[in-house]
Amino acid sequence: MKYRELGHGLKVSAIGVGCMPMIKGGNILYGEAADPDEAIKTIHRAIDLGITFFDTAQIYGPFQNEELVGEAIKGKRDGLVIATKFGFRFDGKQIVGVDGSAANAKQSVEGCLKRLGIDCIDLFYQHRVDPNVPIEETVGAMADLVKEGKIKHIGLSEAGPATLRRAAAVAPISALQSEYSLWERDIEEDILPTCRELGIGFVPYSPLGRGFLTGSIRSLDDLPENDWRRNDPRYQGDNFTANLKVVDAVSEVAAKHGASNAQVALAWLLAQGDDIVPIPGFKRRVTMEDSARAADVTLDADDLAKLEAAAPRGGTAGPRYGEAGMRMVRL
């Protein structure tokens, strides 16, 4: 496995593991429900392959995903970079809104530490920017957690350029996590340049277009009835059909290299800069092992040109979220 550096000296494997799909019977379902035993074996196998970067969050489950990661890393903690996120308010296990308050940051970290079974979180993100709480308050509280030794690095998710600048004026921001892939490139316009100006590493979530870029989904019939992607705007009707052209281009490049679609989609992201570390989501060893090999795939100029022509910035049909979800990004 190759390694990269995000902001402020945070060293991680070039490919991370997004643990969200490992939820069983929780609030977010990708495909069939996860098998917790296989999920834990997937994390163990990833560690064996040299992957050090594992991503989870309070809201995945909620709570149960952090518990699963905590169980998986028992006795294997050394050398790992564990990232989790806070930023929502709960009524029991029901998410009732965003909450970026200092009080919620300090309360949330205690639960995250307990569920993960660790004494310090390597990278602690605000999951979504709270428009009702100044980012200075949120990041100031997170900086206090660094001083207290409860977290090592501060991250934000789906923050816009102005918020990034204000946050970085309060404390060092090591990573921004936002959606980025061949079918979601809007961050290239102003968010990614701002990150680079401020020395903030970039962690793309959904780097495989929520599975679309793998080529395994050619119609909605390929998704289980309760899969949340059935409501994804980009999976609907004419949008779905139009977006298949990106998949076809990825497949063509993959065939040239004897690689999988996933490897090519991830290799494209890695080629966008050494400060980029994608976290594809897994719940099975076979898909994780396949994607881990993306770090060894090098795309040439012809490959990059072909993918650029098929997937230019702004070229994907449909918004990446529904109306409610779009109100929570780029804040």
Q: DSSP labels for 38-96?
A: HHHHHHHHHHHTT--EEE--TTTTTTHHHHHHHHHTTT--TT-EEEEEE-EEEETTEEE
Looking at residue 23, what is its pLDDT?
86
The one-letter amino acid code at 194 reads T
Q: What is the pLDDT of residue 196?
A: 98
pLDDT attached to residue 101:
98
pLDDT of 30: 59
Vertex 53 angle, CA 49 and 55, to 5°: 125
State both tokens at 124.
């602690």
Can you read off the two tokens belonging to residue 167?
């946050």
User: Which domains are delineated in the chain?
Assistant: 3-326 (3.20.20.100)
- Is residue 57 within 8 Å of 65, Cβ to Cβ? yes
pLDDT at 327: 84
pLDDT digits (tens, 9 = 90+) for 230-254: 989 999 999 999 999 999 999 999 9
Radius of gyration of the chain (CA): 19
Surface-to-core class of residue 307, CB atoms within 10 Å of its CB (0-12 exposed, 13-18 middle, 19+ buried): buried
Segment 77-125, tens digit of pLDDT: 999 999 999 999 999 999 999 999 999 999 999 999 999 999 999 999 9
pLDDT tens, residue by residue, 36-49: 999 999 999 999 99
Give the tokens for residue 241: 């059909």
DSSP three-state, residue 302? helix
**Of these residues, 60, 125, 180, 235, which one is catalytic?**
60
Per-position b or e across 259-293, b if 16+ CB within 10 A of its CB:
bbbbbbbbbbbbbbeebbbbbbbbbbbebbebbbb
State the pTM of this model: 0.95
Mention every residue, 6+ apart, whose C-beta is less than 8 A from residue 131.
98, 331
Q: How far is CA 159 from CA 2, 36, 187, 234, 284, in A?
A: 28, 32, 10, 22, 30
Q: For residue 324, what pLDDT is reported?
A: 81
What is the structure's pLDDT at 277?
98
Q: Does the active-site annotation cover 60?
A: yes
The residues of the chain scoring below 50 in pLDDT are none
